[in-house]
Amino acid sequence: MAPGPLPGGVRVTAPILTQTPLGRRHVMRRRIAAAVAEALLRMAAMVGIAALVLLLTVVTRDGFHRLSWDFITSFPSRFPEQAGIRAALLGSIWVMALTTVIAVPLGIGAAIYLEEFAPRNWLTRIIETNINNLAGVPSIVYGLLGLALFVRAMELGRSILAGALTLALVVLPIIIVSGREGLRTVPPSIREAAMALGATRWQTVRHQVLPAALAPMMTGIILALSRAIGETAPLITIGALLFVPFDPRGPLDSFTVLPIQIFNWVSRPQPAFHEAAAAGIIVLLTVLLSMNAIAIAIRYWSERRRQW
């Protein structure tokens, strides 16, 4: 056998190992194991990519011809050819705007407190553990909470505000966790430098730590919000409408959102509605992928700038 690189970076010269039959068999076995492992790992990676490609292909094939300005600006209709996503898109925008306004300051505030101010004791540890647990709670459970708390107890009804508050609860733990991760990317030496200049803890955070942590925190926020925009279950639970033939005009109006509108169309028997659903999915995916692209761009941009 010719000498050459072996799997795992081992390099042997021919005479030493391959002289004995044992050595040759051993080398062969290791080569085969490495090749099999690599093939399996590559397949695992391909499954994910294939799923995405398949999804995009099917959706595009079914829905692309339904995409038009009319589709975006029309209300839903019982005639599938005239149905559009206007109300759902506006509803999604309203809900997302309110969710952002509610969840981002709360989440970032909590992250800053836990990371920069809180003493390291048992109480903080309990809070931390619970936030991590909350991030894993199924969103429909938040829907039930929202229904009991916002819709009924606070009498907000099936409003945009109730939906936004519920979604804020869903994404709050994610924002807190990713916010803390962002703050941890700032080296402690920056905090020490500011404190040693006589800055208070707040001045240190406000003027040095936050600006340096902003980009990674933004990435986390956008990813959390892109989860919220696709959430359906909690909003159906609190009673977002399936059919909304009007523009939502304020936080207390009833509403629907894109994923609910899509769900509605998919559940109709007529194939033409399924095409509308596919077109709606394209719109939703476009919004989602753009949000992710912004997050990636921010991460790329900040990593290039940061040099410590």
Partner 1 sequence: MVSQDTPRPSNPIQVPVHHITTGPQQPSAEEPIVEVEGLNAWYGHFHTLKDINLRIPRRRITAIIGPSGCGKSTFIRCLNRMHELVPGARVEGKVLFEGQDIYDPQVDPVEVRTRIGMVFQKPNPFPKSVFENVAFGLRIHGYRGNLREAVERSLKAAALWDEVKDKLHQNALRLSGGQQQRLCIARTIAIEPEVILMDEPCSALDPIATLKIEDLMRELTQRYTIVIVTHNMQQAARVSDYTAVMMMDEDRGGRIVEFGPTREVFTNPKDPRTEAYITGRIG
Q: Which of 168, 171, 194, 282 binds partner 1 (CB under 8 A)?
A: 194
Cα–Cα distances (Å) from 25 to 14, 116, 129, in that order, read 13, 58, 51
Residue 120 contacts partner 1 per CB under 8 A: yes
- Asked whether 161 and 249 are in contact (CB, 8 A), the reply is no
Residue 122 contacts partner 1 per CB under 8 A: no
- The window from 96-104, 206-214, 219-227, 272-280 that contacts partner 1 (CB under 8 A) reads 206-214
**Whole-number Å distance between alpha carbons of 178 and 185:** 11
If one counts every other C-beta atom within 10 angstroms of the C-beta of residue 139, the result is 20
In the complex with partner 1, which residue's Cβ is closer, 132 or 200? 200
Kindly provide the b/e burial profile for residues 147-174, where b requires at least 16 CB atoms within 10 angstroms of the residue's own CB: bebbbeeeebebbbbbbbbbbbbbbbbb
- Asked whether 167 and 234 are in contact (CB, 8 A), the reply is yes
67 contact partners, CB below 8 Å, separation of at least 6 = 279, 282, 283
| DSSP class of 11 | E
Residue 6 contacts partner 1 per CB under 8 A: no
In the complex with partner 1, which residue's Cβ is closer, 199 or 233? 199
Across the chain, the runs of DSSP E, i.e. the strands, are 4-5, 11-12
- The window from 16-24, 106-114, 175-183, 202-210 that contacts partner 1 (CB under 8 A) reads 202-210
- The window from 56-64, 177-185, 187-195, 238-246 that contacts partner 1 (CB under 8 A) reads 187-195
- The window from 58-66, 173-181, 182-190, 252-260 that contacts partner 1 (CB under 8 A) reads 182-190
Cβ of residue 219: shortest distance to partner 1, in angstroms?
A: 17
Angle at 223 between CA 222 and CA 225, to 5 degrees: 65
Residue 184 contacts partner 1 per CB under 8 A: no
Cβ of residue 201: shortest distance to partner 1, in angstroms?
A: 9
Q: Which of 24, 25, 249, 306 binds partner 1 (CB under 8 A)?
A: 306
List contacts with partner 1 (CB under 8 A): 119-120, 187, 189-190, 192-200, 203, 207-208, 211-212, 305-308
